[in-house]
Amino acid sequence: MTDKELSFSLFSENKKRSYCAAIVRQLGEALSFLHEEAGAVHGDLSLRNILIRLPDENNNNNNNSSTIEVKLIDWENGFLSNNNNDNSIIGRSDTTTLYGPPERLLHLNDNHHNGLTSVDVWALGIIVFQLYTEKVNVYPLFDIVDSNNMFQFMSDLSAFVHSSHAIENVIQQQIMHYDKKNKDSTRVISFITKCLQIDPNNRSSVEELMKEENFPFF
């Protein structure tokens, strides 16, 4: 078996939800280890930086979702979260725009108490949204069209700082439109909203997120 870039096309329809659940759980476990044990941050989480190894569905002894293996790649933007001597790392904008939190895209160098690890938390929220809705384009979350609008939107700090509730409303609309009947929809909305808080101080840690009821929701 070979490692493949995470893509919806890899999943058979009857395995999709269980595979996504296994992927999100392993991703959470990997980030929890990075943040809590290794004191490190990946810094550029995205679908293209997640490799998966799927089980051989022709092998009856190896056909459940628990055999999926998740690997994080592309560590060029990784750093140690306890490196207090380099405040510039929060302001690095070379992260993938689609997954970049406002403090990175706007070059904000404030010393937030969890401002480093929360870079990964923001990206985790984007990835969970993508996997749950099967939508690669997440710009509708911010009511914008493309990356150019993203920069313009985030540059208006006075409006952006107060927009968490607006983002939560859009998340709710997007999730409920996709999956009105799933009882876990409200929990998914809550989870993603806790990841996509504008102020890094208000984002939950990965440890806290993994304790959410019915995590990982698929």
Q: How many CB atoms lie within 10 A of CB 78?
A: 15
Q: Look up the CATH number of the domain holding residue 37.
A: 1.10.510.10
- pTM of the complete model: 0.79
Predicted pLDDT at 35: 94
Q: Is residue 148 part of a domain?
A: yes
Q: Is residue 177 part of a domain?
A: yes
Q: Is residue 95 part of a domain?
A: yes
Q: Is residue 217 part of a domain?
A: no
Q: Is residue 4 part of a domain?
A: no
CA angle 146, 148, 150 (to 5 degrees): 70
Q: How many CB atoms lie within 10 A of CB 64?
A: 12
pLDDT in tens, 128-170: 988 888 877 776 566 555 556 665 655 554 355 555 666 677 7
Q: How many domains does the chain have?
A: 1
Among 106, 187, 99, 91, which residue's Cα sits nearest to residue 141? Answer: 99
Cα 5 versus chain centre, distance = 16
Q: Is residue 216 part of a domain?
A: no
Question: Which amino acid makes up residue 148?
Answer: N
The string over 159-191, giving b where at least 16 C-beta atoms fall within 10 Å of a residue's C-beta and e elsewhere, is: ebeebeeebbebbbebbeeeeeebebbebbbbb
Q: How many CB atoms lie within 10 A of CB 125?
A: 26
Asked if 46 and 127 count as a contact pair (C-beta separation under 8 A), the reply is yes
- Write the CA distances from 215 to 17, 24, 127, 128, integer angstroms: 13, 9, 14, 11
Give the residue numbers spanning the domain of 62.
Answer: 11-210
Mean pLDDT in runs of 10 for the chain (218 residues)?
70 78 93 94 92 73 64 86 52 62 70 70 92 75 59 54 64 71 75 87 93 82
Q: Is residue 102 part of a domain?
A: yes
Q: Is residue 187 part of a domain?
A: yes
